[in-house]
Amino acid sequence: MRMTSYLSLFASVVFLSGLTACGVPDAPPAPPLPSAAKTYKLSTADAVFLQQMDALNQKEIKIASLAETHSNSDVVKAFAHTVVGDYTNGQKAVSKILSDGNLTQSSKLTAADEKHINSFKSLYKNSFDRLFLLDVIEVNTPSLQKTLQTEAKSGGSPSIKALASDTLKMLQDHSDRAENISGSHIVRTRHRRHMNRYY
């Protein structure tokens, strides 16, 4: 009698185990571990472009930052603040792309760039404003526009294309606003001779 009970109990356990195996789905697999950040190799053209953007960002940030103490115009100061912010965002984008491409960001400007920046340091009030606005206008050269258009179309990565496209739009916006603030296109020719002395 007792043996029969043991056999019945064992059969019940086996039966219930079978039901459990058939009726309950397996636990879902664990999610994959996050993959390491992907890097890519930059072409020579892309690397040269990024270094050019790096230098441009540094130079224009330093010039526009001078407006806080060299300008007496709230309008020019506000515009310069925008210029600094836009180029700072561009610099962050350049840093990210260079980092992803395992390249080191340059931190040293050329002697010509340093000389150009220094040409603003002795100017104040209206003199500074005029030269600063002229610089914003003239930095948007046809040569730079062509480079940006080429990279926006044929850059080696979506990030480079986006950087070039965004920079192209930014330079045009800055140039248009500088023209409006100056109030006249005369500023372009009036101070061209003064600007050329520093190149």
Q: Is the pLDDT of residue 28 over 60?
A: no
Contact 112, 197 (CB under 8 A): no
Q: Which amino acid is at 135?
A: D
Of residues 116 and 40, the one with the higher pLDDT is 116
SS3 95: helix
Superfamily of segment(s) 44-196: Ferritin, core subunit, four-helix bundle (1.20.1260.10)
Helix, strand counts (H, E) of the chain: 10, 0
Say if residue 13's pLDDT is above 50: no
pLDDT of residue 151: 96
- How does residue 198 score in pLDDT terms, banded at 50, 70 and 90? very low
> Do 91 and 54 form a contact (C-beta atoms < 8 A)?
yes
Q: Lowest-confidence range among 74-83, 97-106, 127-136, 189-198?
A: 189-198
Domain boundaries, the chain: 44-196
Q: Average pLDDT, whole number, for the chain? A: 82
- Record the tokens describing residue 164, joined without a space: 């070039």
Q: What's the CA gap between 23 and 19, in Å, rounded? A: 6
**Is the model's pLDDT at 14 over the cut of 90?**
no
